[in-house]
Amino acid sequence: MGGFLLYFLYMRLFERYHFNDLHKLFHTDFWLFELSIWLHVLARSMISVFIPILLLTMGWEIKYIILFYLIYNVFDIPLNFFVKWLLYKIGARVVLILGTASYICFFVVLYFLNVGDWSLLILMAWFAAMYDALFWVGHMYYFMSCEKNDRNVSKGLSYLHIAKRIAGVLAPAIGAVILIFFKEHILIIVSAVLLIFSVWPLFKIKNSQDRPSKKPMNMKQFFPKGKGLKEYFIMSLTSFNGVADGVIWPIFIFVLFGTIESVAIIPIIVSITVIVFTFFVGKIKKGNRTKVIALGALLIALTWISRIIFDNTIYYYVSIFLLGFFSILVTMPLESNLLEKGEKKDALATATYRNFFSMWPRVILYGVLFLLLEVFNASFIIAAGTMLVIMAINIVFVLKKPSKRFKNY
């Protein structure tokens, strides 16, 4: 029954978006881009949430899993600028294909990885960083090229999120079934095959700008005298919540319950939440976005605090639903503001700096967690604290009209 309701909801959203203009169904660049992203996320989500769990079951200590993510993010930061140059030279489609190939190489290394094999673990971190920079910069640039609603990009962004999360509902369940009844090697192979299929729709895109017509701006040109940094600074702060929720929380749940199923349900709950609420959050008026971000940040902080206070199995999973919804209230308006401004300024630079500002704070967080004996509560407190900072920043912009100093931020 639940599956039928989910399918019905998706088809209603799909119909509303595509069938209002029937010829767009199979011929728009944006639809083809969505299809590619859907297949890609389906392949990635089958295994991504289980990666720290697989490392745990191999025998790697939590401390060294955190070190793996630290190394991965250290590699990632400079690669963003390399990918900006590469995309300008060869185009987004080739960059996305190279990103897919990097993730397949990541799977190959994971396939042969054993506990204590540091050379392979570092190589795996390198391919993870290559994938992240190539895919995220490439697909965000391509999204801005394919999405033609320049005045309000949040509508297109909401459909992109929905396309991703439909795959996010199915994939973890499939991945869990494979892990339970087969071996992790089968899951790695299936994910790699699906990744290869995800490239096909990109070759069908005809009309969108594959690469910039002019050289992308450097950081000094993009942020003259620091102007325009507000959204990117807030994006950096959201990374602490992303690490706590996306990496540390699944490890916490697995350590607590010890089953694959207990972890697999996390992205399923989040994806259902995003599917239900993203469409409506995408309709928030521009003038209300700052208020919504402040509200969402406060609610996320309160959720993290409540997770520390309440030691209850049912509430742990209820809080996954709550955090999934509250995160939309922050990320959707924030990314809409960022992309609408950036697309007019420089789409490729926007995609690059968005990923750069999202990744560098993770080096700090993983570095701190690596030095601590108790990582769970520490990461939860840091996530709550940074969300309160986001709330405070946005309240300032709600209560006080921007002065000349901030009017271009």
For residues 265 and 276, the model is more confident at 265
| pTM of the predicted protein model | 0.83
**Confidence (pLDDT) at 408:** 46
**Confidence (pLDDT) at 368:** 95
CA 390 to chain centre: 18
Contacts (Cβ under 8 Å, ≥6 apart) of 6: 169, 272, 275
Domain containing 90 equals: 28-203+225-399
Between CA 14 and CA 24 the distance in angstroms is 12
Domain membership flag for residue 356: yes
Between CA 288 and CA 277 the distance in angstroms is 17
- CATH code, domain carrying 175: 1.20.1250.20
Domain membership flag for residue 19: no
The count of domains in the chain is 1
Domain membership flag for residue 352: yes
Burial class (CB in 10 A: 0-12, 13-18, 19+), 351: buried
**Confidence (pLDDT) at 12:** 40
Planar angle of CA 277, 251, 176, nearest 5 degrees: 70
Domain membership flag for residue 8: no
**Confidence (pLDDT) at 299:** 96
For residues 406 and 272, the model is more confident at 272
Output the 3-class SS for the chain. CHHHHHHHHHHHHHHHHHHHHCCHHHHCHHHHHHHHHHHHHHHHHCCHHHHHHHHHHHCCCHHHHHHHHHHHHHHHHHHHHHHHHHHHHHCHHHHHHHHHHHHHHHHHHHHHCCCCCHHHHHHHHHHHHHHHHHHHHHHHHHHHHHCCCCCCCHHHHHHHHHHHHHHHHHHHHHHHHHHHHCCHHHHHHHHHHHHHHCCHHHHHCCCCCCCCCCCCCCHHHHCHHHCCCHHHHHHHHHHHHHHHHHHHHHHHHHHHHCCHHHHHHHHHHHHHHHHHHHHHHCCCCHHHHHHHHHHHHHHHHHHHHHHHHCCCHHHHHHHHHHHHHHHHHHHHHHHHHHHHHHHHHCHHHHHHHHHHHHHHHHHHHHHHHHHCCCCHHHHHHHHHHHHHHHHHHHHHHHHCCCCCCCCCC
Domain membership flag for residue 215: no
Average pLDDT over residues 221-229: 85
Per the prediction, the chain carries an average pLDDT of 82
Domain membership flag for residue 217: no
**How distant, in Å, are the alpha carbons of 16, 138, 210, 252, 262 from that of 93?**
28, 8, 7, 37, 37
Average pLDDT over residues 113-120: 94
For residues 94 and 400, the model is more confident at 94
Domain membership flag for residue 186: yes
Domain membership flag for residue 383: yes
Q: Is the pLDDT of residue 188 over 60?
A: yes
Looking at 63-72, 213-222, 246-255, 272-281, which range is the least confident one?
A: 272-281
Are 210 and 93 in contact by the 8 Å Cβ rule? The answer is yes
For residues 228 and 329, the model is more confident at 329
Structure confidence by residue, pLDDT tens digits, 354-375:
999 999 999 999 999 999 988 9
